[in-house]
Amino acid sequence: MVLITVRLPPQATLEQATRRLGLRDEEVDTGYDLVLIDPRRGLYGLRVTEAAAHRISPASCGGTGPHSDPRIEPYGPPR
């Protein structure tokens, strides 16, 4: 899965985002939900399948993507 961003009004929901972007339920990580990235710009993030991210156009909703979602690990103890 990858990250995409989308611009939405305040208090937006995942359902609004998926409808706006034309995403199907199985293409979205619903457990992750919709995350507010920058309140000043109304920018939200969500996780979708890579295929969906390429099929839709986040830019048409003021968003961006697909963005990588790399693994993160603790920086210690050094191995």
Give least dist CB 2 to other proteins, A. 7
Give me the residues paired with residue 16 across strands: none
Which residue, 20 or 64, has its beta carbon nearer to other proteins? 64
Token code pair at residue 62: 């003021």
The contact set with other proteins (CB under 8 A) reads: 1-3, 5, 29, 31-33, 35-40, 43, 45, 47, 64-79
DSSP code of 11?
T
Give least dist CB 39 to other proteins, A. 7
Give me the residues paired with residue 36 across strands: 44
Give least dist CB 35 to other proteins, A. 5
Closest CA to 5 of 31, 33, 37: 37
